């Protein structure tokens, strides 16, 4: 992969593979949604927190465009990404006699997007789906690329589908509604993108730790990260090759989330710890230098992200890692950085080294 994306936020909407990005875009939601399907009714699903903050303005934007809006809210957090909660949304749609051309809109972060997208993919064998991501993580990552899923007790995202949203509406201004701990956690995915694709982006984040909530900075980060994500998805839409590079840090992260219990760690917090582990493995095996691994870890810590886990046993994390979706024939396939801005995929590592490294990640 070569070439840097446009680093400058735009004042006018920018469409990219069904994705539209602009500050203030939420006010235009109704017209964008009307372009998705010829209908006069839409179904808006969010969690209780986001619905309380953004539900009214988004509903107003939809009704102002002549659309009738049905709304439904679920409890916030990873716990709602379950078959049981999905069944509740199915029943809500069925009770209102939702038709196959009527869009289902996910308003919220990655959990809402994954859950509602899974419902859209499977209700009536597929209905129009619109994503309105409201967290930094969802705007740069989970809303792009069509992965939708729910969790099982055995592991995260084990039941899912590829179902790209018909439209993704990204308004960086929505990030102003985020609690700071959530914004900090979401920065882990920005740093992940920088480590595997874009050294200049890494430099920008390093120089901006004093203004992480700056609207212009956030708009720039969103534009840049979305372009990288879209580029990879276009090359590998069904995750059979290079798209695995986006899994950097996630093998350990998903295991931590599973073992600790969904919600104990925010996804970005777990990814930060996973990046420390994967970066350490890369340095120990000569894929990149100790200096680069240290630079990554220093930035994670400077932003306020965790670099170790507590309260769970490394042995349980290791066991959960073997249930990762990218395990093949019982062997974990690792994504490891080779230098800042580049990474390699499908790396097999000595299980003893992996065990030792995971043990170094615990602070208990």
Dist CA 300 CA 294 (whole Å)? 10
DSSP assignment of 133-181, as one string? E-SHHIIIIITSS-EEEEEETTEEEEEEEE---SEEEE-GGGGGGS-HH
CA nearest to 157, candidates 255, 76, 230:
255
pLDDT at residue number 262: 84
CB atoms within 10 A of CB 336: 22
3-class DSSP state of 334: strand
The radius of gyration computed from the CA coordinates of the chain, to the nearest angstrom, equals 20
Dist CA 279 CA 285 (whole Å)? 10
Cβ(275)–Cβ(307) below 8 Å: no
**Residue 333 has what DSSP assignment?**
P
3-class DSSP state of 313: coil
Residues β-bridged to residue 132: 107
pLDDT at residue number 323: 84
pLDDT at residue number 62: 97
Cβ(256)–Cβ(78) below 8 Å: no
| Spatial CB neighbours of 197, under 8 Å, sequence gap ≥ 6 | 1, 228, 341, 342, 343
Dist CA 61 CA 216 (whole Å)? 24
Domains observed in the chain: 14-176 (3.40.50.1970), 179-360 (1.20.1090.10)
pLDDT at residue number 248: 97
**Residue 236 has what DSSP assignment?**
-
Dist CA 170 CA 29 (whole Å)? 10
pLDDT at residue number 17: 65
| Spatial CB neighbours of 3, under 8 Å, sequence gap ≥ 6 | none
Dist CA 293 CA 337 (whole Å)? 9
Dist CA 364 CA 360 (whole Å)? 10
Dist CA 77 CA 54 (whole Å)? 17
DSSP assignment of 263-308, as one string? TSS-HHHHHHHHHHHHHHHHHHTTSS-HHHHHHHHHHHHHHT--SS
Cβ(169)–Cβ(16) below 8 Å: no
3-class DSSP state of 73: strand
End-to-end CA distance of the chain: 40
pTM, two decimal places: 0.90
pLDDT at residue number 263: 85
Task: Work out whether the CA dihedral 239, 245, 247, 251 comes out positive or negative.
Answer: positive
pLDDT tens digit at each of 364 positions of the chain: 333 233 333 334 555 668 999 999 999 999 999 988 888 999 999 999 999 999 999 999 999 999 999 999 999 999 999 999 999 999 999 999 999 999 999 999 999 999 999 999 999 999 999 999 999 999 999 999 999 999 998 888 999 999 999 999 999 999 999 999 999 999 999 999 999 999 999 999 999 999 999 999 999 999 999 999 999 999 998 888 999 999 999 999 999 999 999 889 999 999 999 999 999 999 999 999 999 999 999 999 999 999 999 999 999 999 999 987 778 888 899 999 999 999 999 999 999 999 999 999 998 5
Cβ(275)–Cβ(361) below 8 Å: no
**Residue 328 has what DSSP assignment?**
B
């Amino acid at each position: 992969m070569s070439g840097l994306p446009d680093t400058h936020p735009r004042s006018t909407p920018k469409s990219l593979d069904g994705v539209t990005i602009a500050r203030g875009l939420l006010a235009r939601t109704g017209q964008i949604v009307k372009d998705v399907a010829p209908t006069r009714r839409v179904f808006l699903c969010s969690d209780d927190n986001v619905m309380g903050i953004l539900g009214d303005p988004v509903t107003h934007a939809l009704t102002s465009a002549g659309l009738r809006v049905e709304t439904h809210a679920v409890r916030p957090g990873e716990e709602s990404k379950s078959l049981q909660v999905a069944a509740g949304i199915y029943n809500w749609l069925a009770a209102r006699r939702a038709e196959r051309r009527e869009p289902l809109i996910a308003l919220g972060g990655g959990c809402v997007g994954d859950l509602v997208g899974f419902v859209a993919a499977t209700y009536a064998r597929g209905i129009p789906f619109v994503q309105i991501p409201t967290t930094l993580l969802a705007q740069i990552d989970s809303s792009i690329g069509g992965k939708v899923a729910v969790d099982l007790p055995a592991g995260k995202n084990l039941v899912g589908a590829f179902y790209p949203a018909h439209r993704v509406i990204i308004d960086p201004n929505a990030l102003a509604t985020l609690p700071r701990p959530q914004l900090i956690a979401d920065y882990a995915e920005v740093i992940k993108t920088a480590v595997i694709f874009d050294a200049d982006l890494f430099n920008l984040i390093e120089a901006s730790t004093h203004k992480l909530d700056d609207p212009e900075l956030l708009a720039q980060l969103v534009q840049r990260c979305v372009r990288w994500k879209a580029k990879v998805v276009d090359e590998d839409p069904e995750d059979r090759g290079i798209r695995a590079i986006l899994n950097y840090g996630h093998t350990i992260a998903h295991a931590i989330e599973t073992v600790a219990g969904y919600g104990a760690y925010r996804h970005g917090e777990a990814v930060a710890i996973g990046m420390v582990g994967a970066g350490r493995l890369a340095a120990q095996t000569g894929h990149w230098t100790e200096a680069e691994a240290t630079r990554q870890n220093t930035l994670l810590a400077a932003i306020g992200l965790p670099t170790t886990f507590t309260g769970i046993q490394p042995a349980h994390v290791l066991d959960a890692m073997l249930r990762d979706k990218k395990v093949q024939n019982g062997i974990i396939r690792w994504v490891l950085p080779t230098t800042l801005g580049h990474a390699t995929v499908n790396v097999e590592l000595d299980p003893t080294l992996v065990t030792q490294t995971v043990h170094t990640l615990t602070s208990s």
